[in-house]
Structure 1
Amino acid sequence: MTMMTDPVHATSHPGWFSRSEAWLDSKGKGAWIAAMVLGFVFFWPIGLALLGYMIWSKRMFNTSCSRRSSWKSHRMAMSASTGNSAFDAYKADTLRRLEEEQTNFEAFLERLRDAKDKAEFDQFMNERAKKAERDASDDSNAA
């Protein structure tokens, strides 16, 4: 019996790890966390390995895995032609506009976060300068 190393054959039947990963992704971040907790409960190295994998693959810090995969499948379904050229043009224009609005909104949120960080840093620096002035005046009054 010969082993098949054909790349087409290998991708048509994903291994248990790929199937498990896809199943957990379809259930969302909660499923990943539950699997990690169960791994720690039953055999701690499994929980540790899952935690490491979740951090390495950035699953812990991204939005929900199920939303990401459903968005991909939704975009693929939306890109299919309906046969009506007017509707397809309208759909393409609407999707382009929505993606542009999403990009603009994400840029706005990033600017908002940056402004908040700057305001907090400026407040910290002002409080630090006031404390240094008070300490300097206390030292000069004591002398």
Structure 2
Amino acid sequence: MNQSSYIRPDWTPATVALMVLGFVVFWPLGLAMLAYILYGDRLQDFKREANRKMDAAPFRRWRGEWGRGSCRTRFHETGNTAFDEWRRTELDRLEAERRKLDEMRAEFDRYAAELRRAKDREEFDRFMRERSNRSEDRPADDSQGFYQS
């Protein structure tokens, strides 16, 4: 996610201005913008969870992914053995392709998480270096402070 964008789920001047403008123009727009500011960071998690639930078993039967036994109940045999065999082969091939794509997606998710972790580590290390440099630049004697007695 690009953290430098102006319209992100946070209290930035752009989002506050859009929220106020939304309330002025048509109050549901302002309310929607307020909801985006407050809960927008959860949209990715919501989308990921919705996709995971849609990939669950109850929805797979419509795609013929429960195995040959239940495929026959959904897609009954036609009586043409050549066609039924070809269809079964194609469904198996598509299922294998879907599994391969799911594995690739999981691998990419792991890769992206590792990149985020490395970026966070680098930012934290830079912060700690800058913090230690600031503390070394300060004079050891605090006699120049405002609170002298």
TM-score (norm 2): 0.47
Identify the structure with the greater helix proportion.
1
Q: Which has the higher contact order (CA 8 A, sep 6+)?
A: 1
TM-score (norm 1): 0.48
